[in-house]
Amino acid sequence: MSFAAIALEEKQRVLAELGEVKRLLSSRGLFAGTSGNLSIRVGDFVPESFDFAITASGKDKSLSTPEDFLFVDQDGKPSEATALKPSAETLIHCEIYKLTGCGAIFHVHTVMNNVISELFWDRKSIPVDGVELIKAFQIWEEEAHIEIPIVSNFAHIPSIVPEVTDRLDPRIPGIVLRKHGIYAWGANAFEAKRHLEAFEFLFEYAYRWEMLQQNRRS
Ligand SMILES: CSCCC(=O)C(=O)COP(=O)(O)O
Ligand SMILES: [Zn+2]
* pLDDT for the residue numbered 190: 98
* 142 CA → ligand 1 middle, Å: 38
Torsions phi, psi of 102, nearest 5? -70, 175
* pLDDT for the residue numbered 141: 97
Rounded Cα distance, 168 and 176, in Å: 10
pLDDT in tens, 108-131: 999 999 999 999 999 999 999 999
pLDDT in tens, 132-146: 999 999 999 999 999
| Res. 1: pLDDT tops 90 | no
pLDDT in tens, 44-66: 999 999 999 999 999 999 999 99
Instruction: Say what the pTM is.
Output: 0.98
* 52 CA → ligand 2 middle, Å: 18
* 181 CA → ligand 2 middle, Å: 6
* 128 CA → ligand 2 middle, Å: 24
Complex ipTM value: 0.99
| Res. 184: pLDDT tops 90 | yes
Q: Is 156 annotated as a binding residue?
A: no
Of ligand 1's listed atoms, the one at least distance from the Cα of 37 is 13
DSSP notation for 36-93: -EEEEEEEEEETTEEEEEEEBTT--TTS--TTSEEEEETTS-BSS--SPPB-TTHHHH
Of ligand 1's listed atoms, the one at least distance from the Cα of 109 is 8
Q: Is 195 annotated as a binding residue?
A: no
Options 3.40.50.300, 3.30.390.50, 3.40.640.10, 3.40.225.10; which CATH number does 3-217 get? 3.40.225.10
Nearest Cα residue to atom 2 of ligand 1: 35
